A and B are shown apart, each in its own frame.
Chain A
């Protein structure tokens, strides 16, 4: 493999990346006293209250099984809250919609559709003709650097490429909110770092609100404006930490003193809040 090819593979050229020039108006999320139970007496999400401003990048951080995916699925409209309500731009959410794009953990591309048709699916469902849908798809594929693969099936792509197609597909309807459920969890560390950087560029370009679910504290601190921490059980939000690291953030940030300080703050607070939550549980039990 030539160095050129390697370079293209590792770091695809992004579309015209520029700083957000406007203040996003859409993508205002209000999660109000949301509780979700799946029929048992244990809540998967317990009285969550969270407001996310338009254009904000929020990471939902917590251990596996803490209910962070469930909370995000209430915003996606896949799960209806047992109590409370979720509003996006003032509208109560009760089903999935094109205003909220979704990126899944893995294996969510339709394997029977070409890469191009996967991305074109959203516009097609939006009532666009197939030609117009495909041309939208092509421009998004160019943005994530995968134009060369448009006619291939997802099966031939690597994990990182698949997720880039997944992101392109989720953006193809130009949603105001992007919901990401541990999208890079299955990737190797190098690819993951690359993907995080790409994602931030796309986010700034689109001026989109992002909820990003992860159990990786480094990932959360690197990406987010705010890290919202969820405790293991019973699905409570225990901390809401502002990350003030300057943007644009490139991979080098993780070695900076500011980053380490932010991460340490984050960890201390999580420990403190976890202990407090644990104490509370013990006294109420």
Chain B
């Protein structure tokens, strides 16, 4: 062993000799001030059990809403908002159970899920790609941004006539309308994420020999990932309500078609069931997107 490393080690020894009393003092303090330590523990355990508390509150909240709905519709409450013709939850529930026994209902759901998957797939791939291009190139951003700003506020329903005129099939019109809705949140979130990427990471990567593509892959993309993922989750929600608009033009199937059809046939129960089914499917698919993004964002947990 060289002279220097032994010098370092003797330094370590010196430190512990001096360090030991410090630690003892610290331990003593911890034991004597147990009054201070004790109140901390319940706080910790409360934090740990909080998810359950919160799920309980959420469940109760839903149950509460259904009860209010029931009371209002059974008593035909009509004060500003009229429940005169609103079917009560039990009737809706009955009808729902009946529909669950029919093949038709699953077909509606299946067709809609298929459309969502295709539309959301297109919207995510295009949205992320365009968002990254816009974030990395000023000219691309300037070319594309005005279109996004003008087109984004247009509601999906307004696209129906043009979509029918411009696209070859009914099916592709529906996909177009749905994908367009999902596209905007994805592209904007991606752009935001890329723009946020810290210059110091890019510099670090460059000084370590990274080229443009490597910076994109190892720095820009992972840095923007949290934003991309929340954009995808929002996009999934938007896809569902755009789908409802798109399926107005569908002649046969789809949960949106089911709802519109119930509306024209004045089947109140089915309207409510259609709406709640879309709500449920939208919530579930958004949750799935969030779950799928978790492994990729594990590093974020350590940032807090």
Contacts and interface: CB of A to CB of B under 8 A. Distances in A.
Contacts of A7: 12, 15-16, 19
B7 interface: yes
Interface string A157-186: 000000000000110110000000000000
B302 A153 contact: yes
B126 interface: no
Interface stretch (B32-40, B199-207, B228-236): B199-207
Interface residues of A, number: 48
A108 interface: yes
Contact of A76 (B201, B207, B225, B298): B207
A6 B209 contact: no
Given A6-B19, A104-B204, A251-B11, A125 B4 contact: no
B149 interface: no
Given A10-B15, A156-B302, A96 B20 contact: no
Interface string B280-304: 0000000000000000001111111
Contacts of A156: 302
Contacts of B7: 248, 250
B4 A18 contact: yes
A107 B303 CA distance: 11
Interface stretch (B129-137, B170-178, B216-224): B216-224
Contacts of B16: 3, 6-7
Contacts of A154: 302
A156 B303 CA distance: 7
A235 interface: no
A122 interface: yes
A7 B219 CA distance: 35
Secondary structure type dominating chain A contacts: loop
A125 B19 contact: no
A104 B200 contact: yes
Contacts of A197: 8
A276 interface: no
A109 B225 CA distance: 16
Interface residues of B, number: 38
B303 A19 contact: no
Contacts of B85: none
Contacts of B200: 104, 107-108
A17 B4 contact: yes
A101 B11 contact: no
A129 interface: no
B215 to A, nearest CB: 10
Contacts of B218: 110, 113, 121
A183 B209 CA distance: 21
Contacts of A155: 299-304
Interface string A100-117: 111010011111110000
Interface in A221-236: none
B207 A112 contact: no
A72 B219 CA distance: 23
B15 A17 contact: no
Contacts of A121: 205, 208, 210, 218
Contact of B23 (A6, A78, A102): A6
A262 interface: no
B203 A96 contact: yes
Nearest to B303: A155
A10 B12 CA distance: 9
Contacts of A169: 204, 208
A108 B201 contact: yes
Interface string B58-98: 00000000000000000000000000000000000000000
13 contacts: A6-B16, A19-B2, A76-B207, A96-B206, A104-B204, A110-B205, A110-B219, A113-B299, A121-B218, A170-B207, A173-B209, A201-B8, A250-B8
Given A248-B4, A251-B11, 7 more contacts: A11-B8, A18-B2, A78-B207, A112-B299, A153-B303, A155-B300, A250-B7
Interface of B: 2-5, 7-8, 11-12, 15-16, 19-20, 23, 198, 200-201, 203-211, 214, 218-219, 222-223, 225, 298-304
